């Protein structure tokens, strides 16, 4: 793809766009906010499918278990929202290298689905976990890069000491596949940028509790999680993943600001390698937390 057309796809889209969500929904408490936000933003977003992404931490026994638990959490969220969607199980392992895909129902659906779009009318992928499913689809069929825009919550800011961020460090090979691909790519870095997107217990209790079943679940889930480690001390919790959805709603930079940079690569030691010949990508460097939170809370508290 030529640079001019790639740059066009790195701008916030106008009008309503088709979106797939790729999420490790059981990993933390923030994926649930992002999924609900996407489904509630019908003025700009048509959710076409949801993919379960692998993860491995204290909430799973291995990546396959993390993916399966995320699949079940997605179904739970859909039930709470009263929504239906195509939901696909993703990779049960991470990439072994930068050339071998992990085929799954999710990566296969993305290949098939992306072929129905065009560079002028792309499919948007909001990825909020390890990016294994997306990288696998690109490895399986590199031609789909022309028809997609990938918006990823992953890695840390380039000024940060390292990029050993959970979504990125689980699968550095997948991150490099995406960074080196021809696909339009938007990065929302975690520490140093999205880490500004915090919410507190009093805000959750004031704005969400008692508004509806979904809002109650999101608030109580977050409060329970944070109280378990705060041990009676004041806390705020970053709800990282909503920012990836908010990029699609970012008319006139109302929620965030970004700039075009050349895509780096990453080492397995968690360091960026700058590449002056890397493709142009959109790098978000600032979040307007209050404006984003106002829109999120408004949408989450609509309905019974």
Instruction: Map residue 61 onto helix, strand or coil.
Output: coil
Number of Cβ within a 10 Å radius of residue 80: 18
Strands of 184-188's sheet, edge to edge?
Answer: 86-89, 45-52, 17-23, 123-128, 148-153, 184-188, 280-287, 256-262
State the pTM of this model.
Answer: 0.97
CB 95 within 8 A of CB 54: no
Is residue 304 scored above 80 in pLDDT? Answer: no
Instruction: Map residue 143 onto helix, strand or coil.
Output: helix
Is residue 1 scored above 70 in pLDDT? Answer: no
pLDDT digit string (tens) for 116-130?
999 999 999 999 999
CATH topology of domain 3-300: Inosine-uridine Nucleoside N-ribohydrolase; Chain A (3.90.245)
Q: How much is the average pLDDT of 18-24?
A: 98
pLDDT digit string (tens) for 44-101?
999 999 999 999 999 999 999 999 999 999 999 999 999 999 999 999 999 999 999 9
Question: Where residue 303 falls among pLDDT bands split at 50, 70, 90?
Answer: confident
Distance CA 59, CA 70 (A): 10
Q: How much is the average pLDDT of 209-231?
A: 95
CB 122 within 8 A of CB 1: no
pLDDT digit string (tens) for 110-166?
999 999 999 999 999 999 999 999 999 999 999 999 999 999 999 999 999 999 999
């Amino acid at each position: 793809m030529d640079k001019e057309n790639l740059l066009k796809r790195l701008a916030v889209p106008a009008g309503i766009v088709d979106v797939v969500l790729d999420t490790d929904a059981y990993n933390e408490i923030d994926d649930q906010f992002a999924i609900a936000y996407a489904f509630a933003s019908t003025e700009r977003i048509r959710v076409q499918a949801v993919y379960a992404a692998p993860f491995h931490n204290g909430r799973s026994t291995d990546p396959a278990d993390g993916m399966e638990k995320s699949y079940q959490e997605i179904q739970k969220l859909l039930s709470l929202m009263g929504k239906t969607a195509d939901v696909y199980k993703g990779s049960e392992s991470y990439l072994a290298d930068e050339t071998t895909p992990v085929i799954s129902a999710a990566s296969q659906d993305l290949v098939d689905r992306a072929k129905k779009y065009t560079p002028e009318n792309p499919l948007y992928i909001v990825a909020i976990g390890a990016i294994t499913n997306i990288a696998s689809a690109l490895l399986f069929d590199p031609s789909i890069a022309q028809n997609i825009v990938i918006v990823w919550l992953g890695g840390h800011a380039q000024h940060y000491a390292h990029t050993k961020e959970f979504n990125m460090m689980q699968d550095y090979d997948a991150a490099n596949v995406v960074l080196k691909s021809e696909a339009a790519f938007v990065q929302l870095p975690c520490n140093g940028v999205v880490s500004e997107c915090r919410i507190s217990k009093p805000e959750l209790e004031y704005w969400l509790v008692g508004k509806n079943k979904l809002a109650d679940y999101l608030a109580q889930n977050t409060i329970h999680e944070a109280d378990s480690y705060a041990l009676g001390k004041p806390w705020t919790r970053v709800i990282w993943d909503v920012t990836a959805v908010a990029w699609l709603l970012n008319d006139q930079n109302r929620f965030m600001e970004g700039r075009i940079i050349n895509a780096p690569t990453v080492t397995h030691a968690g360091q960026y390698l700058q590449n002056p010949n890397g493709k142009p990508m959109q790098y978000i460097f600032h979040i307007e937390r209050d404006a984003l939170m106002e829109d999120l809370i408004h949408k989450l508290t609509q309905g019974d």
